[in-house]
Amino acid sequence: MNKIGWLFLIITISTLKAQETKIEVFNTSINSVYAELGISYLDDATILFASSKKVDKDKNFSNKRTRNNSQLHLEMYVGSVTNDGDIIQTARFSKNTNNPILEGDITFTPDKKTVYFTWNNFYNTQSRKDSAKWKTLHIVKAVINENLEISNIEVLPFNHKKYDVRSPEVSKDGKQLFFTSNKEDSYGEFDMYVVDILPNNTFSEPINLGSKVNTRESEFFPFVDQNNNLYFSSYGHKGLGGLDIFKSEFKDGTYQTPVALKAPINSEYDDFWYVENQQGNAGFFTSNRKESIGDVDIFSVKYIEKQCLSNFIVRVLHKESKLDLEDVPVSIFENNTLIKKLIINPNSKEEIALKCDTTYKIIATKDGFESNELVFLSDNILNKTNDLTINLTPIECAQTITGIVLNKETNEPVLNAKVSLYTENKLIESIVTSTENKFSFPIQCETAYKIMVENEAFIASEEMFTSDKTLSKTNDLTINLTPIECTQTITGIVLNKETNQPVLNAKVSLYTENQLIESIVTSTENKFSFPIQCETAYKIMVENEQFMTSEEMFTSDKTLSKTNDLTINLTPIECTQTITGIVLNKETNQPVLNAKVSLFSDNKLIESIVTSTENKFSFPIHCETAYKIMVENEAFIASEEMFTSDKTLSKTNDLTINLTPIECTQTITGIVLNKETNEPVLNAKVSLFFENQLIESIVTSTENKFSFPIQCETAYKIMVENEAFIASEEMLTSDKTLSKTNDLTINLTPIECTQTITGIVLNKETNEPVLNAKVSLFFENQLIESIVTSTENKFSFPIQCETAYKIMVENEQFMTSEEMFTSDKTLSKTNDLTINLTPIECTQTITGIILNKETNEPVLNAKVSLYSKNKFVETQFTANGRGYKFTIDCNSDNKITVTQQKFKSVENLFKTNSTNNSLVTKNILLEPVIEFITFGEQKAIKTNTIYFDLDSHEIRPDASVELNKVVGVLKKYPTLKIEVQSHTDSRAPDNYNLSLSERRANSSMNYIISQGIDPKRVVGKGYGETKLKNKCSNGIPCSNTEHELNRRTEFVIIENN
């Protein structure tokens, strides 16, 4: 494929700009076999760029581009940005063939009324004499109109004839101007600078952006985005190879350490001149990568946000049964616009992909159910599967049942008939028919019902009915009731008129027209009941031998099934009896004198009698009455007897009441006191013994009292014990006084109380034991005892109870600790303590120099990293012969790693001791890494630049170091054959440079052979200035640095078997 075939080639490499952003890079349509570079945005749809292409209509193209010099001739063009990020060329920026703008170095103020650009004076001078006046580049300011015409050009005050000022970039707020320059204070070749754009057409002094941004190499082409972040190109920062694009974030007022943009923006080739649109989602850059059509091309970059989708599985359930429904149509809406329709079934697991963080409405419909809609907000979790459940409510199928109630015999409406509707024997609703004689009930479809109709003058009727599934159907019924015979009931009770109590065994007789119908005798329920005819006169006669006979007249009405309640009161004939008796000792059967005998009825005292020598009692009582007789005497247990008289008139009832004598008991109570302090002794065990047999034990509590029940006229022993006191025994003999309380005070002699305090000493930060800690015990600031902890790390002191102590712990590596402790009064208690000591910070200093193992010279730009306890601590970079210096902890495991791209990495492990503020010196040797490099289609041995003295071909000592590297490679790879190629710059006659380079090539070749290399494996050739690496040919003004790039010696591999 030729170069033209690459015109629309899209680089398909993609990567993530952020978590969900991919980067797409492609070659723009404006690129040609010439050079296209230097993008500047006029707005998001319009750009400027530079090109060396020939324009067909430009008749002066050939002679104008090379008339004054042999440099690349560039013209500025205006292009339009398409929707897909490509560029369509529209026109040249200016009709003036003498383009004053260097390589597209141009920038605009936000209002597009002012332009800054690098003045390309050298390209536009009319003679060599004029061009000599300007040996440096400088930035100018001008007015630009809407037709892109430039006027009123002014030179900025910080330009200088001794150094270049180029690549202007105006910040998005128009308040600052960034540029690059090789001023005297730069860190390397070209550095990045900034000035403030002040009122009245003035500027602040230039400020170097510092060592984070600038390096010992060159930084070019600044671009500042909407957030004031800086993009630029550099050889000095670590990238993918060649000139790379970097971003320095503006944070807290300073620019941070630059980060290389990822592939496919950066590549192993030169990538530079990066710009972005206002949205930051697209831009352009320049590159000479292998996909380029010409010398350098403009590439488009797009940041494409990956769409966030969230997945949903929809289920539609029967709201009542919670079962899945079949064949349910579902519609999904976004902003009330239908976006999807689907049919949901129980086994369908179709996942619906919806946009994240978006509100949706889902509607489900099905015959026989009410439609339902659900509004929900999708989450913002990518590819998450969510469950959505919609419940559908079935539409209720209802009917009506209506009807009338008729008299079966007369076919007339029955009023006041109660019509009740039941399902599954549960009452649903009841209606009483009125003058319209109709009833009506709402019912469910396909349901069985029972209709019950009741009226007291008719036999109740039940009708069974099952509805069908016809929606809103009216079911008509006619219910016929059979009339019943009219009867009633007369019921009642018979009561004692005076007591209102029921009268048992009363004979109740029912008469009509003086004819006996029926008789009933009342029983325990005391009720009577007779069936009677409606509208009939009756007589009720009631008889009982203890009451006067009663007659009641009664006439029934015409109410069907009516119950007539009667209460008949009988007047009693008075009935009395007598109760008499004696009181005896139950154990001796002897009469008990002075016994109080009391008669109670309904718990009310009627009368009391005290027995005398005759030992008899007597009370008049009523017939058929319950009584309680209570008998009391202080030497006996009180007795209660229950007695109910019968209905025998004037009866005498005899009773004998036996009393149980009371046992004689007393109580012994007391307190236990400290004999010395007279204070109560708690937790004292008090034990009661009889004939050396333990009866009971009590432990004294806060009330400090004990109490035991004892027998009269008995000898006892009381023993009192407490671990802090000497045990005590007391003897006591009770007398014969009933219920006497015997009080005792028992004094205990205390035993001396001691305890022990033990503990361990730990490092507060590591929780490890602290050895050789001095633990001292103080009482009232007087030292009692000291202990030094050993391998067991424990201390122990005997102490007194209820005493305050101070424990002091000392160790030279820790802060002294003091603990206050007060013992309680528990005898022989062991008190455990854990004392944590805070370590005193202990540090050391480690320093050293990073040296070249072969030359013993300091290694510059070596990255020295310290790790302590397997954690990263700090990184330093060596410079100007200075080494490294770290502060580290005592007694720690450490690691130092050293890396430098030209040397093999080194890792050094070491452990510090416990000496505070000590200095440790560790010089570290790095072994150089010899590498191969490729340029064009040639492969060579990589060395540093080999320098010769002016007009000399003699090998200098510093050159021999590099030549030794070549010798080492040839010895390592014995099949290699090389050509020593020597080149000069253009600052001498061509023939002289060719001869000088030949001599230098031969000198280098002879040195290599002198080190033991077979002469057949080495050839030397001088090329003079025929293969320059840059534009610095004859007559072209260049800096010393640019000329040095051409003065080089290369060791090209010509054979490798």
The CATH number of the domain holding residue 157 is 2.115.10.20
For 633, the token pair is 């005497």
Do 142 and 40 lie in a common domain?
yes
Q: Residue 720 has which token pair? A: 């009192």
pLDDT tier for residue 234 given thresholds of 50, 70 and 90: very high
Task: Tell me how many domains the chain contains.
Answer: 9
Residues 234 and 350 placed together within one structural domain of the fold: no
Decide if pLDDT at 729 tops 60.
yes
Segment 786-808 shows an average pLDDT of 90
Mean pLDDT of 89-117: 75
Whether the pLDDT of residue 16 is over 70: the answer is no
Query: Is 34 in the same domain as 140?
Result: yes
Q: Is residue 185 domain-shared with residue 45, that is, in the same domain?
A: yes
CA distances from 508 to 131, 526, 549, 551 (A): 154, 11, 10, 10
Centre a 10 Å sphere on the Cβ of residue 536 and count the other Cβ atoms it contains. Answer: 13
Domain edge (last residue) among 750, 765, 792: 750
Is 670 in contact with 654 (CB distance < 8 Å)? no
Write down the pLDDT at residue 950: 64
Stretch 938-965: mean pLDDT: 79
pLDDT-wise least confident of 193-197, 305-309, 818-822, 992-996: 305-309
Residues 729 and 584 in one domain: no
Together in a domain, 766 and 893: no
Together in a domain, 376 and 476? no
> Which residue carries 């996942």 as its tokens?
351
User: Are 379 and 502 within one domain?
Assistant: no
pLDDT at 78 over 50: yes
Q: Per-residue pLDDT for 68 more than 50?
A: no
Q: Given this model, what pLDDT does residue 565 score?
A: 92
**How confident is the model at residue 301, as a pLDDT?**
95
| Confidence bin at 508 (pLDDT 50/70/90) | very high
Determine, yes or no, domain membership for 62: no
Q: Which of 90 and 593 is assigned the larger pLDDT?
A: 593
- The one-letter amino acid code at 799 reads I
Q: Which of 901, 1049, 1024, 851 is nearest to 963 (CA)?
A: 1049
Query: Does one domain contain both 758 and 742?
Result: no
User: Which distant-in-sequence residues (6+ apart) come within 8 Å of 153 by Cβ?
Assistant: 119, 140, 141, 142
- Is 4 within a domain? no
Residue 385's Cβ-side half-sphere holds a number of Cα atoms within 13 Å equal to: 5
Which pLDDT score is estimated for 854?
74
pLDDT confidence of residue 19: 41
Average confidence (pLDDT) over 218-234 = 94
Residue 127 clears pLDDT 50, i.e. is over it = no
Nearest to 137 by CA among 177, 107, 101: 101
Average pLDDT taken over every residue of the chain = 86
Q: What percent of the chain has pLDDT over 70?
A: 93
For 3-9, what is the mean pLDDT? 28
Residue 130: is its pLDDT beyond 50? no
On the 0-12 / 13-18 / 19+ scale of CB atoms within 10 A, 367 is exposed
Interval 837-890: pLDDT, tens: 998 888 889 999 988 887 788 888 888 899 988 899 899 888 876 789 899 988
> What is the per-residue pLDDT for 881?
65
What's the helix, strand, coil split of the chain in %, to 5?
Answer: 5, 50, 40
What would the two tokens of residue 819 be? Answer: 């603990």
Q: Is residue 1017 domain-resident?
A: yes
Residue 667 pLDDT more than 50? yes
Residue 586 covered by a domain: yes
Q: What is the CATH number of the domain that holds 605?
A: 2.60.40.1120
883 and 775 in a single domain? The answer is no
Rounded to whole angstroms, how far apart are CA atoms 607 and 598? 6
Contacts of 231 (CB under 8 A, 6+ apart): 222, 223, 224, 225, 245, 246, 247, 248, 261, 274, 275, 276
pLDDT at 980 over 70: yes
Q: What does DSSP assign to residue 1015? A: G
Choosing from 837, 857, 887, the residue where a domain stops is 837
Identify residue 950 by its one-letter amino acid code: L
Confidence of residue 989 (pLDDT cuts 50, 70, 90): confident
**Burial class, 573, CB count within 10 angstroms (exposed 0-12 / middle 13-18 / buried 19+):** exposed
pLDDT exceeds cutoff 60 at 986: yes
Antiparallel, parallel or unpaired: β 919-921 and 903-911: unpaired
Q: Are residues 83 and 175 in the same domain?
A: yes
- Same structural domain, 458 and 473: yes
Task: Name the helix (H) or strand (E) containing 720.
Answer: strand 715-721
Evaluate if residue 698 carries a pLDDT over 70: yes
Here the tokens at position 164 are 């270049």
Separation between Cα atoms, residue 225 and residue 283, nearest integer Å: 11
94 versus 792: the higher-pLDDT residue is 792
Distances (CA, A) of 1001 to 980, 1021, 1027, 1055: 6, 6, 15, 18
Predicted confidence at residue 96, as pLDDT, reads 53
Which of residues 542, 570, 598 is at a domain's end?
570
pLDDT at 181: 94
- At residue 1042, the 3 state secondary structure works out as helix
| 793 or 123: which leads in pLDDT | 793
What share of the chain in percent tops pLDDT 90?
40
The pLDDT of residue 123 is 39
Q: Which residues pair with 706 in a beta bridge?
A: 670
Q: What would the mean pLDDT of 705-726 be, rounded to a whole number? A: 90
Please check whether residue 14 lies inside any domain of the structure: no
Measure Cα distances from 169 to 74, 149, 173, 265, 328 in Å.
20, 20, 12, 21, 63
Instruction: Compute the average pLDDT of residues 807-816.
Output: 90
Say which residue, 255 or 378, is predicted with more confidence. Answer: 255
- pLDDT of residue 425 exceeding 80: yes
* pLDDT band for position 1033 (cuts 50, 70, 90): confident
**pLDDT greater than 90 at residue 3:** no
pLDDT band at 564; cut points 50, 70, 90: very high
Residue 494 maps to a domain: yes
Q: Which one-letter DSSP state was computed for residue 228? A: -
pLDDT at 709 over 80: yes
Residue 10 lies in a domain: no
Domain range for residue 716?
665-750
Is 8 part of a structural domain of the chain? Answer: no
Q: How confident is the model at residue 731 (pLDDT cuts 50, 70, 90)?
A: very high
Q: Which pLDDT does position 867 carry in this prediction?
A: 92
Mean pLDDT for 630-658 is: 89
Per-residue pLDDT reduced to its tens digit, 469-496: 887 899 999 999 888 878 889 999 999 9
